[in-house]
Amino acid sequence: MALLVTAGACDFPRDPEGTLDRVRGGVLRAGVTASPPWTLLGPAGPHGIEVTLVEQLAAETDATVQWVEGSEESLLAALELRELDLVVGGLTSTNPWAGKVTFTHPYLTTAAVVAVPQGAEVPQDIAGVEVAAEAGTEIAGLLEKTDARVRIVDDVGDASGAAAVDNYLVDDLDLVDTGVRLAERDHVWAVPSGENAWLTHVERFLLAREEEIQNLLDEVAP
């Protein structure tokens, strides 16, 4: 019986550095970099969708969040060296740091899409179609790689006609998704490699927050 218990215990995720035990009832060292609407930085401290979620995670773990602001590279380097317990900031599963830190399973998938106003004809192909995109955005760059006629605007919410937007903004902008996908993004958080109990704890928290995450997205939509 003792052997069976011992063998079974080996199946439980463990933290070689004891991250979960240290964070629980203690301090959660969270790195945050600006990536609206997921994370925003300001004089009053960080805020945004993922900041709200991290604060909820800390509350459930009876921990206090110690925010560390910085660039994505500097924060992930600190995470790799276990100076941080978690990093957020619009990270996606294709991030090149995947081999040095551990990313959670995707908690949300979003897409950059081409959409048209309600009642407008939905094109089967955007080749030759004028499509608006917001200046200085990743979406604008993605659209430039297509055969569409790109129109750069200051605010895509004010544009008439077809527009390239994030899919979670389509309804709020009174648009209809054409089905044209420019890119899909699997959103993740980063934790130190090897801290499997902590990773499992974070993933279970995110898995239970599907409705909450959608509500937070709705709040930031125009």
pLDDT value, residue 11: 52
Q: Do the beta carbons of residue 177 and residue 117 sit within 8 Å?
A: no
Q: What is the mean pLDDT of residues 34-48?
A: 95
Q: What is the CATH number of domain 2-107+188-220?
A: 3.40.190.10
Predicted confidence (pLDDT) at residue 7 exceeds the cutoff of 60? no
Q: Where are the domains of the chain?
A: 2-107+188-220, 110-184
Q: Do the beta carbons of residue 131 and residue 143 sit within 8 Å?
A: yes
Half-sphere exposure for 171 (CA within 13 Å, toward CB): 7
What is the pLDDT confidence band of residue 1, given thresholds at 50, 70 and 90? very low
pLDDT value, residue 124: 85
Separation of alpha carbons 187 and 43, rounded Å: 26
What is the pLDDT confidence band of residue 47, given thresholds at 50, 70 and 90? very high
pLDDT value, residue 209: 93
Span between the terminal Cα atoms of the chain, in Å: 60
List pLDDT tens digits, range 90-147: 999 999 999 899 999 999 999 999 999 999 999 889 999 999 999 999 999 999 999 9
How many beta carbons lie within 10 A of that of residue 77, not counting itself?
A: 18
Q: What is the mean pLDDT of the chain?
A: 92
Predicted confidence (pLDDT) at residue 3 exceeds the cutoff of 60? no
Q: State percent of the chain over pLDDT 90.
A: 83
Separation of alpha carbons 133 and 138, rounded Å: 9
Q: What is the mean pLDDT of residues 155-163?
A: 90
pLDDT value, residue 6: 42
Q: State percent of the chain over pLDDT 70.
A: 94
**Residue 203's beta-bridge partner residues?**
none
pLDDT value, residue 112: 97
Same CATH topology for 2-107+188-220 and 110-184? yes
Q: Please, what CATH class does the domain formed by 110-184 belong to?
A: alpha beta
**Residue 177's beta-bridge partner residues?**
115
pLDDT value, residue 221: 64
List pLDDT tens digits, range 74-94: 999 999 999 999 999 999 999
